[in-house]
């Protein structure tokens, strides 16, 4: 009998992005974990019944990180430095946790830099958390290797 493999919950994750030995974490949402390729359609002369689709290059959309607004200024300062020509690329990772809080799988992003910051929507008639958003351009996304899986005993 094979082991049961339940899908992971999307609300258990960490984002590791380091600023001067400080890991900025506590993000409430991550989007943009994508790799896409749009094939090139080629029409061949004399073959009118179909076209061929050939692979082109892969693209990695921007990552969007959202978190509750705090006094921590690392993200905004990183964006501000980039606005003034001091672009500092940072690599990081998004790690999905299993039901017991162990790292189960993850995605590493390379040489990211901020391209957009959005402040919170402020409304006096609601008591929700003020959310800031940071969009990062990066040079690729890869699946992290070596993380323990649910089928392996934790160390």
Residues 6+ apart with CB under 8 A from 19: 74, 78, 90
| pLDDT < 70: residue spans in the chain | 1-2, 4, 6-9, 20-25, 148-155
| Residue-wise pLDDT tens digits, 93-137 | 998 888 788 888 899 999 999 999 998 888 888 888 888 899 999
User: Considering only the top CATH level, what class is 14-43+50-143?
Assistant: mainly beta
Q: Which of 133, 109, 135 is nearest to 119 (CA)?
A: 133
Q: pLDDT value at position 22?
A: 66
């Amino acid at each position: 009998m094979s082991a049961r493999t339940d899908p992971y919950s999307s609300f258990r994750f960490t984002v590791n992005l380091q600023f001067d030995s400080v890991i900025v974490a506590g993000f409430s949402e991550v989007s943009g974990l994508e790799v896409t390729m749009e094939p090139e359609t080629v029409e061949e002369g004399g073959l009118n019944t179909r076209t061929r689709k050939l692979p082109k290059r892969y693209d990695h959309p921007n990552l969007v990180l959202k978190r509750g607004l705090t006094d921590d200024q690392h993200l905004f300062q990183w964006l501000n430095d980039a606005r003034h020509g001091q672009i500092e690329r940072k690599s990081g990772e998004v790690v999905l946790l299993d039901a017991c809080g162990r790292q189960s799988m993850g995605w590493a992003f390379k040489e990211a830099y901020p391209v957009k910051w959005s402040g919170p929507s402020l409304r006096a008639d609601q008591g929700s958390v003020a959310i800031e958003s940071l969009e990062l351009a990066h040079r690729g996304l890869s699946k992290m290797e070596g993380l323990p899986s649910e089928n392996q005993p934790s160390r």
